[in-house]
Amino acid sequence: MTDPYSEISYRTSTLLTSSYSTSFSSAVRLLDRETQDAIYGIYGFVRLADEIVDTFHAFNKEDLLQKFENDYYHAVEKGISLNPVLNSFQLTVRKYNISDDLIQAFLKSMKTDLIKQSHKTKDETDDYIYGSAEVVGLMCLKVFVRGDELLYRELEEPARKLGAAFQKVNFLRDIKDDLEILNRQYFHQSFENGFNDDVKAKIVDEVESDFQSSLYGIEKLPGNVKTGVLTAYFYYRNLLKIIRRTPAKELMKKRVRVPDAVKMLLLIRALIVSKLGMPLISRN
């Protein structure tokens, strides 16, 4: 039985995550309760760090992020934190043996957001996306495989590709706010000549390739996990289709979204595909 404070900690991370991303939370709710708690523990940590660098403009972000990191490591050392989000994360890290190199890579990308406005080369973009998204996918994979290291190694590359695809779609969707509010440009392709239809098309093709490379990993996931991940996959693929047909100038004016009715259809599709064991490799 989970102790009351641990339960409260996980519920706090659940509330934090669902408040910022209803679509993601809908996918997570398809998982069993134990897996839900762990994924929310990860995303609560990720979300809070992201908020520090993206929205806490009236405060010293460097100090806040450093304290956040210090408090996390103190929590790991002591086995508890009075910050419920950090407490749920450290519980998840301990239970699923999430390696510290993944956490450090994530924090490195968050720190990069505080000092770098533009990513000028492919290596810079790839390095940032590895830390900000791919390692988050690997943390989740640690939970999904429940200690099966052979399966983890087998699915490591597809998990990275899926995390990268999700992040790039987010960047495309949020490109207006990233440029206008945060003064950040994540895509090296748009550094010299700006974001235009040709640049957008190349990035979309790159994301499609990432999605295709992730399918093997999704197919190999355990059944209950597969349904949740597949729901997120279908949602982001649909969002990418909307982005593909939206001119670059329009993306610079508005944030596109998947309609709620379509989200429900995608959820049903994921349930059917998972339940029937339908193949994904040939699916677009």
Q: Where are the alpha helices (DSSP H) in 97-247?
A: 100-115, 122-129, 135-145, 149-173, 175-180, 197-220, 223-245
The CA-atom distances, in angstroms, between 60 and each of 21, 52, 65, 114, 266 are 26, 9, 9, 10, 41
pLDDT at 279: 73
Distance, in Å, from the CA atom of 28 to the CA atom of 40, rounded to the nearest integer, reads: 8
**pLDDT of 1:** 44
Residue 265 identity (one-letter amino acid): L
Q: What is the pLDDT of residue 179?
A: 87
pLDDT at residue 282, as a whole number: 56
Q: Which residue has the tokens 């103190």?
A: 74
Q: Select from 70, 12, 36, 46 the least CA-distant residue to 132.
A: 46
**Intervals of the chain under pLDDT 50:** 1, 283-284
Q: Which residue's structure tokens are 């087998």?
A: 154
**Predicted local confidence at residue 22, as pLDDT:** 78
Residues 6+ apart with CB under 8 A from 174: 255
Kindly state the tokens that stand for 200.
Answer: 């957008």
Residue given tokens 């956490």 in the structure block: 103
Q: What three-state secondary structure class fits 81?
A: coil
3-state secondary structure of 185: strand
Full set of structural domains in the chain with CATH: 1-96 (1.10.600.10), 108-284 (1.10.600.10)
Tens-place pLDDT, residues 12-43 = 999 999 888 877 888 888 899 999 999 999 99
Tokens of 246: 């939206």
